[in-house]
Structure 1
Amino acid sequence: MPDRPSPLRLTAAVREARDAGRPIVALESSVLAQGLPIPANREAADRMTGAVERAGAVPAVTAVVAGTPTLGLEPAELERFLARDGVRKVSARDLAAAMVRGHDGATTVAASLALGALAGVPVFATGGIGGVHREVPGVPAERWVRDESADLPELARSPMLCVCAGAKSILDLPATLERLETLGVPVVGYRTDTLPGFFTVDTGLRLPARLDTPGELAALWRHHRALGRRQAVLVVQPPPADTALPRALVDGAVADALADAAAAGVSGPAVTPHLLAAVERATDGRSLAANLALLEANARLAAEVAVALGGTALAGA
């Protein structure tokens, strides 16, 4: 059976980088179109792409543009996504439907992993991954279903090195770490022995491995792929110390927000934005500054790893 042509579009800048063998770092677009408020989303885009470029790599924001999966956004497209003009949130399962409907879709971690793996780009940077959701206080066991982010199974089937600040603090972090182990996803601390908590430096959860240089991370990735492993490698680094939040502050804010969500009848997909908004209020906006700083730091580390890998051809593009 002949190979099917890839549906993935590359922007001119990304294609030129591919042809020249320059390192490329994939970035998600959902954090820009849904995750951060305006105008902080523009600052995030500038800081992430700038960090990648300064480290010697080429940034490539993943998205679906008018029904076309893309690696890289043209300036006018980025403006449309930042303005959130009819842009939908697209996970991995939604990609084909967005193509059929001709939608603009901002890609989540799961969708970005799927597109990055399709392109053959080995390195991806994000803020925090999704994971196993916490129990909601006051909800009877017979009415409660343990929710899990689509990011986790996608990490188990999309071979990319994903740099993040751990899973979001609003999640059940011990359960998330156990689920990653079950799925066979290696979790490696960058200059840390414990799992970061997105906004916080340390959750107290021990990690199975630690590495201290981008070169070591690149070597781990090569060994991982040489062994035929198809899972992603999850590299976690703490948020920058000058913007990180105290663990007790975040834990208290999340606990209060969960109780408030139960009292207000908030459930399902609405729980996550409810909790994030509550944490921002409880921290007087400090969580937003931490979010921007960790996005930039993760993009920079991802680019350093991509440079250490020496660039890559994009498979199937």
Structure 2
Amino acid sequence: MIDISFSPEVSDAKTKNLPIVALESTIITHGMPYPQNVETARKVEATIRAAGAIPATIAVLEGRIHAGLTDEQLETLGQAQNVAKLSRADLAACVATGGTGATTVAATMICAHLAGIGVFATGGIGGVHRGAESTFDISADLKELAETPVTVVAAGAKAILDLPKTLEVLETYGVPVIAYGQDDFPAFWSRSSGMKAPLRMDTAEQIALAQKTRTAMGLPGGQLVANPIPVDAEIPAETLAPIISAALSEADAKGITGKAVTPFLLQRIFELTEGKSLAANIELVLNNARLAAAIAQSMTH
């Protein structure tokens, strides 16, 4: 069995059976510049504590999986250069070779499950990229949701993706997609994608019970909770559509593929929205952290 390093705070929470919420670390290493990345990570952790749960930011540091980072470790990771971006395919290799890596949604789910943590808050999941019918570019996050029993709270899938195909693949894999408090599937920076979500639930208790019921029935995998961005923080889909289109065209023209696509698109959208996309991103992560804390509380009861 893999040995996991728990921060003192998370270790204490596990001993006392307190609610814990996992957090990914690519938002720190690949999502924002220093020091804003560390400030945001601390703000998300503080939001989870204020909502009655314990945050566990997950990363691989020198070959060890960490569930919960100390302030010093968070600071070091925030300033580290050339940190690997880990998913299911390269997580074990990073651990085996003593590497340092930040975890994506898929890798965070794996590590959270190993650490006995059942709820995870993130920004948006990966999904089916536009043009996937010729590139086959589909995020490992979708298959992970089908296999690993962790409830993932996100503001839907990233709006740069092909959302209809993403929902189709999630359905094929048997992943419950639950919109929180509305019928529409949210689209990351926007409250609505224009598509109806397969499921709707209005309370954290219902969501927690749904995951417990899946497990009791012997059904593998987790569930995706699509939590819409707060009204005052959203960027309407019609405002974003031409901006996303322009960024996608640029990525295509520059031959950017694979793992490099998402960071490039997010950076260009940040520039084209004059920073509004990043401000919205921070607000939706904080919003997801609050809901995840409520679900974690219900899971421990």
Q: TM-score, normalised on structure 1?
A: 0.91
1:162 is matched with: 152
Instruction: Note the residue ranges of structure 1 that are not aligned, 5 or more in a row.
Output: 312-317
What aligned pairs does 1:1-40 form with structure 2 within 5 A after superposition?
A: 5-40=1-36
With over 3 angstroms needed to count, the CA separation of the structure-2 counterparts of 1:191 and 1:53, relative to structure 1, is same
Cα deviation, residue 11, structure 1: 1.7
1:233 is matched with: 223
The answer to whether the Cα contact below 8 Å between 1:44 and 1:296 also exists between their aligned partners in 2 is no
1:52 is matched with: 48
Moved more, 95-104 or 111-120: 95-104
Q: Distance in 2 between matches of 1:263 and 1:10?
A: 44
Q: Deviations over 1:193-234 (max 9, x none)?
A: 111111111001111111111112122222122111111111
One-letter amino acid matched to 1:191 = G
Partner SS for 2:174: coil
- 1:256 and 2:252 are equivalent in the alignment: no
Instruction: Note the residue ranges of structure 2 that are not aligned, 5 or more in a row.
Output: none
Of residues 229, 235, 239 in structure 2, which corresponds to 1:245? 235
What aligned pairs does 1:1-317 form with structure 2 within 5 A after superposition?
A: 5-135=1-131, 144-310=134-300
The answer to whether the Cα contact below 8 Å between 2:155 and 2:284 also exists between their aligned partners in 1 is yes
Cα deviation, residue 86, structure 1: 4.6
With over 3 angstroms needed to count, the CA separation of the structure-2 counterparts of 1:86 and 1:260, relative to structure 1, is closer
Q: Distance in 2 between matches of 1:297 and 1:56?
A: 14
One-letter amino acid matched to 1:115 = C
Q: Distance in 1 between matches of 2:257 and 2:15?
A: 47
Cα deviation, residue 122, structure 1: 1.0
Q: Distance in 2 between matches of 1:268 and 1:94?
A: 14
Q: Distance in 2 between matches of 1:304 and 1:104?
A: 31
The answer to whether the Cα contact below 8 Å between 1:170 and 1:254 also exists between their aligned partners in 2 is yes
Partner SS for 2:41: helix
Q: Distance in 2 between matches of 1:310 and 1:265?
A: 47
Partner SS for 1:156: helix
Moved over 4 A (4+): none
Larger RCO of the pair (alpha carbons < 8 Å, separation 6+): 1
Bigger CA radius of gyration: 1
Partner SS for 1:198: coil
Q: TM-score, normalised on structure 2?
A: 0.96
- The alignment yields a C-alpha RMSD, in angstroms, of 1.5
Partner SS for 1:35: coil
One-letter amino acid matched to 1:199 = W
Sequence identity (%): 44
The answer to whether the Cα contact below 8 Å between 1:249 and 1:283 also exists between their aligned partners in 2 is no
